[in-house]
Amino acid sequence: MAKLKVGNVTSVNIPGVDEAHGFTVFNEGGEPVVVFVYPTQEACESAVKHIELALEGAVSVHPFRLHPH
């Protein structure tokens, strides 16, 4: 099973966005994998629920690369 953890929703300073909020998804070692930022706290909290559902029971999660190295 993929052991990813969704971090807490926090306010984020994004120029031109008054109330941006974001969260980070961490790998099993606690390293950040991806950061999501949304224009409102409500939108961000909704996204967290969807991401948690998407990760629930996932056996593998890998980054996609257009050009393999």
Taking the complete model, does pTM exceed 0.85, yes or no? Answer: no
| pLDDT one-digit tens code per residue, 11-49 | 999 999 999 999 999 988 999 989 999 999 999 999 999
Separation CA 45–CA 39 (nearest Å): 11
Query: Confidence class of residue 69 from pLDDT cuts 50, 70 and 90?
Result: low
Is the confidence at residue 66, as pLDDT, over 80? no
pLDDT at 57: 82
- DSSP line for 4-64: -EE---EE--BTTBTT-EEEEEE-TTS-EEEEEEESSHHHHHHHHHHHHHHHTT-S-----
pLDDT at 59: 84
Query: Please, are residues 8 and 26 in contact by the beta-carbon 8 Å criterion?
Result: no
> So where are the chain's domains?
20-59
